Amino acid sequence: MKTFIVGNWKLNFNVGEASVYLHKIQRKIANYRDVEVVVAPTALCLQPLSLQLDRSKIKLAAQNAFYRDFGAFTGEISFAELKGLVNYCIIGHSERRYIFHEDDKMIAKKVAAAIRNGIRPILCIGEIESERAFGETADVIKDQLFGGLSEVSVEDISKVLIAYEPVWAISSTKDAKIATPDEIAEVVGLIRENLKEIYGAKIAEEVPILFGGSVKPTNAGAYLTVPGVNGLLIGGASLILDEFVDIIETAKRVK
């Protein structure tokens, strides 16, 4: 299985800045057959960046999209419009859940729409600090996982990536903490057990699981060696050229 390094640029970089940054990344990294590098710029940047993209080195992801393919939905961008433009889409990120109030029903529709349009969904799940403190992590993970995958068949689950992002460990969160490898390993184990319940043991082991939460060059190697972790979803560090390249190089060495 490949190692996936996904940079979520969130609401940063205008078109010109994103173009310059992508150019610099592509000059610094090689074509790694066993490491899939993905960047998720803002929606306005997707089309212009696709024209300069070296797809042998980097793939594009959308940060969000709407689940209907067309219709009277002012301001939305559909997965149908993104078809052929991006390879991946981040779905269910904690900021979409807690700032924009997306629920599991909405997220499930987006996952299905992505698959329908040939785009691999990166389904984000993770508990907040109070849920962990009250021992609710296993229940939250199960609910978000089953909810997000409720419209995904056995035939299509191989197209999905799961990203475990404990909200309490995201650097942009107030008073964020650092997740330890043992804490991550425990939840990744829970995710695979839940996948096993739905899709069987073989498939459960083949679904890529990424970790996201204050990932930096100093801890990327440790996170990538956690059993069952197949990659990283990176926020702030993906905006800093040397740090992002360092993490990519670390993934190659660990692989």
- Catalytic annotation, residues: 93, 165
Q: Is the dihedral of CA 26, 27, 28, 34 positive or negative?
A: positive
Is 111 in a helix, a strand, or coil? helix
Determine contact, residues 9/42, Cβ cutoff 8 Å: yes
243 vs 59: CA distance, rounded Å: 19
Determine contact, residues 198/208, Cβ cutoff 8 Å: no
187 vs 172: CA distance, rounded Å: 21
For Cα atoms 123, 249, 121, give the angle at the middle one, nearest 5 degrees.
15
H helices of the chain, in order, are 15-28, 43-52, 79-82, 94-98, 104-116, 129-133, 137-148, 181-199, 201-206, 217-224, 241-254
181 vs 184: CA distance, rounded Å: 5
Q: What are phi and psi of 217, to 5 degrees?
A: -60, -30
Is 15 in a helix, a strand, or coil? helix
The residue with tokens 């962990």 is 132
Q: 102, 38, 48, 50: which is closest to 76 by C-alpha? A: 102
